[in-house]
Amino acid sequence: MASRKKKLQGLVAATITPMTEHGEINFSVIGQYVDYLVEEQGVKNIFVNGTTGEGLSLSVSERRQVAEEWMTKGRNKLDQVVIHVGALSLKESQELARHAAEIGADGIAVIAPFFLKPWDKVRAEELLDGIQEKIPTFQGLKFSDTDLLDFGQCVDQNRERQFAFLFGVDEQLLSALVMGATGAVGSTYNYLGKKTNQMLEAFERKDFSSALNHQFCIQRFINFVLKLGFGVSQTKAIMTLVSGIPMGPPRPPLQRASREFIDEAKARLESLDFLSSTYLKDRNLESCS
């Protein structure tokens, strides 16, 4: 499993699983997808087979194949590949974890139980208490809630440990950075990675007004699509628009994004300058619209 020295930092794109019109996995575009993330978005870490990747809609064998393809195409190009191996069946989860280790993944991630649950609600802060004794290879947390008290206490109580504290609510990442987030995992980094990196850089140099400008710019887009109804289907459509790489429809039970959604999202992306070559080429772009 992943070496402890190489700490996960910065942006991690929750990868989409490209599909054909018939809902089969389209492995052929994954190489192109890797190059796009690295060259156009400046994103060198990926989170494979998560919610955005419809990981739980895939069969176990499909999940293995998808993981292998990303490892192969990402070699010498990506910094870290994290494979989500969570499943409702612990046996299947264990099989996927062993497989991830075999193919040399940099790490695995597992979603908390969401069907049969040992507890009603878990606070991340309590989960982390003594976790290294239980999981010696534990490296960090993806936190996808807006409860920044819980998130903050995770950071506060684990200062001497070298954990990665990755935030998963893209539209308010800035609020987690100030609370100690070391990086972020999200679906929008597939197509807003460059803009989000600009925000991270501004935050690093303590240029708050720029950082906030970038955050607001990102919020304008997310706020807009959320009102239209935003999920994995819509993410696939948006990534197809911005990257030009065909992501295809989602697999059932999800339904394809509507024509109306695609048209409205495209117009908004243009008005925010997220489709222009400027956005994709000029790394010094500071603000939107």
- Applying CB under 8 A, the residues found at the interface with a copy of itself are 51, 54, 56-60, 62, 88-92, 113-118, 125, 146-149, 152-153, 155-156, 171-172, 174-180, 206, 208, 211-212, 215-216, 219-220, 222-223, 226, 231-232, 250-255
DSSP conformation class of 28? G
**Structure token pair of residue 279:** 């956005």
130-139 own/partner pairs: CB under 8 Å, 24+ apart:
132/161, 137/1, 137/2, 137/4, 138/163, 139/2, 139/4, 139/7, 139/8, 139/107, 139/163, 139/164
CB of 286 to a copy of itself, least distance (A): 15
CB of 35 to a copy of itself, least distance (A): 28
Decide whether 180 or 246 has the Cβ nearer to a copy of itself. Answer: 180
Decide whether 44 or 214 has the Cβ nearer to a copy of itself. Answer: 214
Decide whether 78 or 257 has the Cβ nearer to a copy of itself. Answer: 257
Decide whether 12 or 155 has the Cβ nearer to a copy of itself. Answer: 155
Decide whether 38 or 262 has the Cβ nearer to a copy of itself. Answer: 262
Instruction: Provide DSSP, 120-142.
Output: S---HHHHHTTHHHH-TT--EEE
CB of 76 to a copy of itself, least distance (A): 32
Using DSSP's 3-state secondary structure scheme, residue 47 falls into strand
Q: Are 14 and 185 in contact (CB under 8 A)?
A: yes
**Residue 150 burial class via C-beta count within 10 angstroms: exposed 0-12, middle 13-18, buried 19 and up:** middle
CB of 253 to a copy of itself, least distance (A): 4
Q: What radius of gyration, in Å, describes the C-alpha atoms of the chain?
A: 18
Closest C-alpha among 20, 11, 8, 6 to residue 170:
11
In sequence order, what are the beta bridge partners of 109? Answer: 84
Decide whether 2 or 96 has the Cβ nearer to a copy of itself. Answer: 96
Peptide bond into 253 cis (omega under 30): yes
CB of 25 to a copy of itself, least distance (A): 11
CB of 12 to a copy of itself, least distance (A): 20
Decide whether 62 or 264 has the Cβ nearer to a copy of itself. Answer: 62
Using DSSP's 3-state secondary structure scheme, residue 12 falls into strand
CB of 34 to a copy of itself, least distance (A): 24
